[in-house]
Structure 1
Amino acid sequence: MGTITSVGISSGIDIGGIVTAMVNAESAGKIARFDVNEGKINAKISGIGALKSAMSEFYDKLKTLTEAETFGSQKVTTSTKDYLSATVDKTAVSGSYQVKVEQLAQSQKVGSAVVADSRSPIGEGTLSIAVGSGSAFDIQVSDTDSLSDIMEKINDAEDNSDVTATIVNGAAGPQLVLGSKKTGEDNLISVTATDSGAGTGLSDTFTMTELTAAKNAIAYIDGVKVESQSNEIEEAITGVSLSLKDADINKTTTITVSQDSDKTKTAIEGFVESYNSLMGTIKDLTGYNADTKAAGILQGDSLPRSIQSQLRGMLSGSFDTSEGSQMLATFGVTTTREGLLEIDSTKLTESIENNQAALTEMFSNEDTGLAVKLGNLVDVYVQTGGVIDSRDETLDQQLDRIATSREQLDARMQAYSDRLYAQFNAMDAIIGNLNSQSSMLLGSLDSLPGFGGKSK
């Protein structure tokens, strides 16, 4: 902390201005060097960040090319969406299927006997309710419970997962309706009422009547009858799942399963686009713009050049498949003079349709696939604690050293400023003392005869 002083009182000199100018002259050059070096380091950190971002995006595209569903996947279309929808997995076989839906699956509903008042007590006892082969759950009914109370107890029961209860106020009066949450003929509702109090009110009331019959879904696939407990049919056609939505035995839906070449092509196009973007980023970071006379912020840095060289070398190589050695160019992906990739769309489509086994092996073979090897290379750089993170850490340490040097310079300049103030203040005090002595001497001389004073 600097010394608080009144400066220049005796001398009239601007001591504060002189000290500030001397301190600035001493520190300006060093601060300028700090600013320049700090700017360069921050620019490099920004450049390294841009490089890592482009490589991470490229890595994501490579991962897609290592996934089995990218190659050999199937797609499905339906001639109409009115009666069903369909999905496929990789086991589906290309082909066409004619489907008619005769009947949708339906859940059963049963009703209790009609009562005079849904809020009047029914009778004491136990209700045991089950759906199909599932475990039954019990409802304890007190002698004060009404039909509404019983409805609430059924719906709130912790071990009830299969039944919903509601009261329907029909023309004859209110009755409790139980509905199964599961469709199909195997999921019938059973209700057993056991009276424990006087009378048979509970058992009489809960002699259930079927209101809506349970039904299985019925469909015909190429003339073959298929039944299902639900409206989801998953095993009738290999690799194809059907979700039934409506029924009309006179309407036919054509299901077509075919190879999903678009998925493979899109993945390869994404890989090429991402690679070219990465190469563009490296060019911008390391190149020189003759028009603007500006160099890239990582020009001369070996890291991006090494990455570029390794990637290009790997892409230009050949890869072993069960159909022999293959290169990217075999499938319509070639390298331009600028080192970028370009796609012959027609050739790539033909390769996907006619030579997909070799294409799949070339990209995604677990040991030798191009996408696998590229992914392993890129991961060395972009993973947490990888090469790029290490470079960032080194640059951060350089910034820390500059910050420390700034603090040390500030401390030295403060000490220098204090020393200058002390020296100038001492000088000002001496001048003040001399001025005082001079005034006293002149006063004394003025009082002497013959030195300006009056003679007697």
Structure 2
Amino acid sequence: MSSTSSTSGLSTTGLNILSGFNAGASGLGINVSSLVSGLVSASSGPLNNLKTQLTTNQSQISAYGSIQSSLASLYSATQNLYGTGSAITAQNVSSTASSVATATSDGTAVTGSHTIAVTQLAATQSLTSAGFSTTDFTFNGSLSITVGSGSATNVTIASGSSLADVVKDINNANTGVTASIVNDGTQNHLVLTSANSGTANAFTVTGTDTTGSNLASLNWNASSTAANTNTSGTITANGSPNSSYLSYTTPLNAALTIDGIATTEPSNTVSGALQGVTLSLVSTGTSTLSVSLNTSSIDSAISSFVTAYNSTHSTLRGLTAYDTSTKTAGVLNGDVIPNSLQNQLSAMLSTTFSQMSTGLGSAYQGTGSFTSLADLGVSLNSDGTLSLNTATLNSAMASNPTGALAGFSDFGQTLNNFLDAQLNTTSGTIATATTTLKSQAKLITDQETAMQAHLDALQAQYTAQFTALETVLSQMSSTSSYLNAQFAAMSR
């Protein structure tokens, strides 16, 4: 009875070990490989536990990587909720006469209409020289070019230089004046043009010849040169052929009025004259500009934020959830960090704009009845997700754009600061948790390596011992067979 109980009580591992012994035809033998494998397997429990711990650890590191990616996407979507140039501040600017002026906005312009009257466009200074023969003229000396009130730039012209060489030398010197050649069919003309428009960019040219007088013929100083037209149509300086130019375009400032206020600008691209608006002047005339909110861009920015938030919520919830029906838990179930992130994000969505402003160290700049995101169409649902009511959003933007934008700005900055802290690559919550898990992984791996080395040594020890035992048993079996044969012979 006791023998039966003992046999039935053997563990599976024990039976596997015993199976290493077998009664062969020649007597008792040992299956060394099977026996050693069973003994090593019986000692592998701690190693298997370490492998399970490492698998769980790697899953947790991967889970934090998913959180990092999700929060980064939310951070990106948050950037469009505040700040100059963000999608939520986008504006449309239309012109009743785009042939006169067009415009763009950086999002800070005051919505409404503005009348633009252009009476003069800005122009660059341009000089076209008298003709030079393609074969007879060479240059040697220097040109001194001065733009506006700046310092003169000296351009060295090597001996024997052609007009094309002069053009190349001027352009390589970055003088603020560009040079080119125009051919009229028989002669080449040097054309000099200021790089920028406006009277402040008027330029003078002083040529000094080492030999000849060709560079001196390019002298030009509008303030001291009286431009006269001779009988051949050539503009000369006080009638002197040494400063002859076929044509001269005077540098001009743009002249315009904005809502009746006159201003002059050095360029046809006008920034700063009208808050938040950059004008592009095309021709003289009058145009009415209308600045309005870009509701499509605003709707898209808020919708993208809601989608990104819900994705983050889904990620955090999936990693921390426990399914009672299947009795399975998310890889970060019970982890305080993702649960804390969920709670803080949810609380932020319910915070009033005034509280956010206080946290940012300022006062809420909005006016009206907007107190939280819900008043702007962004509501927190019972399951923790967000929903967007575009009708409420558009109504709020239409009735009080300043207050609505101020609310989104405060929320955006508050959430941005929070996410920035979480995503910091050295001190952030995610980085810290990941670093801790990786340190744990190294410890587990080191323990696993040591344990495996121990089992390898144990396997070698068992193999040697049982191989020796098998040899002894084999010898005993041979001796037994010999003695049996002798006894059998003696009994005859």
TM-score, with structure 1 as normaliser: 0.77
Question: Cα 1:37–1:26, aligned 2, differ >3 Å: closer, same or farther?
Answer: same
Return the alpha-carbon distance in structure 2 between the equivalents of residues 120 and 319 of structure 1.
76
Q: Find the partner of 2:152 among 136, 141, 145.
A: 136
What secondary structure does 1:391 align onto?
Answer: helix
Q: Which residue does 1:398 correspond to in 2? A: 440
1:285 CA displacement:
1.8
Q: Find the partner of 2:53 among 29, 32, 37.
A: 37
Question: Cα 1:373–1:177, aligned 2, differ >3 Å: closer, same or farther?
Answer: closer
Q: Which residue does 1:423 correspond to in 2? A: 465
Q: Does 1:203 align with 2:216?
A: yes
For this pair of structures, how many residues does the alignment match? 429
Q: Find the partner of 2:161 among 145, 164, 169.
A: 145
Q: Which residue does 2:381 correspond to in 1? A: 336
Return the alpha-carbon distance in structure 1 between the equivalents of residues 132 and 468 of structure 2.
112
1:209 CA displacement:
0.4
Return the alpha-carbon distance in structure 2 between the equivalents of residues 372 and 179 of structure 1.
48
Q: Does 1:346 align with 2:391?
A: yes
What secondary structure does 1:339 align onto?
Answer: coil
Is the deviation greater in 318-327 or in 125-134? 318-327
Q: Does 1:116 align with 2:161?
A: no
Contact 1:183 1:215 in 2 (8 A): yes
1:226 CA displacement:
5.7
Q: Which amino acid aligns with 2:59?
A: A
Q: String of CA shifts for 1:138-182, please: whole Å, max 9, x gaps.
A: 23445533433333332333xx33122233332342333322222
1:243 CA displacement:
1.5
Q: Which amino acid aligns with 1:112?
A: S
Q: Which amino acid aligns with 2:247?
A: L
Return the alpha-carbon distance in structure 2 between the equivalents of residues 205 and 303 of structure 1.
76
Q: Does 1:192 align with 2:229?
A: no
Aligned pairs (5 A) from 1:274-293: 274-289=308-323
Percent identity between matched residues is 32
Q: Find the partner of 1:178 among 178, 184, 192.
A: 192
1:86 CA displacement:
0.9
What secondary structure does 2:292 align onto?
Answer: strand
Q: Which amino acid aligns with 2:178?
A: T
Q: String of CA shifts for 1:248-301, please: whole Å, max 9, x gaps.
A: 64xx54311234555555444444333322222222222244676643222333
Return the alpha-carbon distance in structure 2 between the equivalents of residues 427 and 308 of structure 1.
64
What secondary structure does 1:130 align onto?
Answer: strand
Q: Which amino acid aligns with 2:432?
A: S
Question: Cα 1:312–1:193, aligned 2, differ >3 Å: closer, same or farther?
Answer: closer
Return the alpha-carbon distance in structure 2 between the equivalents of residues 421 and 107 of structure 1.
96
Aligned pairs (5 A) from 1:49-128: 49-67=65-83, 74-79=91-96, 81-89=98-106, 92-99=109-116, 104-118=121-135, 120-122=137-139, 124-128=140-144
Question: Cα 1:51–1:225, aligned 2, differ >3 Å: closer, same or farther?
Answer: closer
Q: Which residue does 2:423 correspond to in 1? A: 382
Q: String of CA shifts for 1:109-144, please: whole Å, max 9, x gaps.
A: 32334333347534x443222334333222344553
Q: Which residue does 2:271 correspond to in 1? A: 234
What secondary structure does 2:142 align onto?
Answer: strand
Return the alpha-carbon distance in structure 2 between the equivalents of residues 397 and 142 of structure 1.
70
Question: Cα 1:331–1:152, aligned 2, differ >3 Å: closer, same or farther?
Answer: closer
1:373 CA displacement:
4.4
TM-score, with structure 2 as normaliser: 0.72
1:237 CA displacement:
3.4
Q: Which amino acid aligns with 1:382?
A: L
Q: Which amino acid aligns with 1:138?
A: N
Return the alpha-carbon distance in structure 1 between the equivalents of residues 333 and 341 of structure 2.
14
- Unpaired segments of 5 or more residues in structure 1? 1-10
Q: Which residue does 2:280 correspond to in 1? A: 243
What secondary structure does 2:161 align onto?
Answer: coil
What secondary structure does 1:144 align onto?
Answer: strand
1:414 CA displacement:
1.7
Q: Which amino acid aligns with 1:203?
A: A
Q: String of CA shifts for 1:185-222, please: whole Å, max 9, x gaps.
A: 5534422223444x545434763404351353455656
Is the deviation greater in 410-419 or in 266-275? 266-275
Q: Which amino acid aligns with 2:268?
A: N
Q: Which amino acid aligns with 2:206?
A: T
Contact 1:115 1:205 in 2 (8 A): no
Q: Which residue does 1:298 correspond to in 2? A: 332
Q: Does 1:254 align with 2:299?
A: no
Contact 1:48 1:392 in 2 (8 A): yes
Contact 2:182 2:188 in 1 (8 A): yes
What secondary structure does 1:410 align onto?
Answer: helix
Return the alpha-carbon distance in structure 2 between the equivalents of residues 409 and 106 of structure 1.
83
Q: Does 1:410 align with 2:452?
A: yes
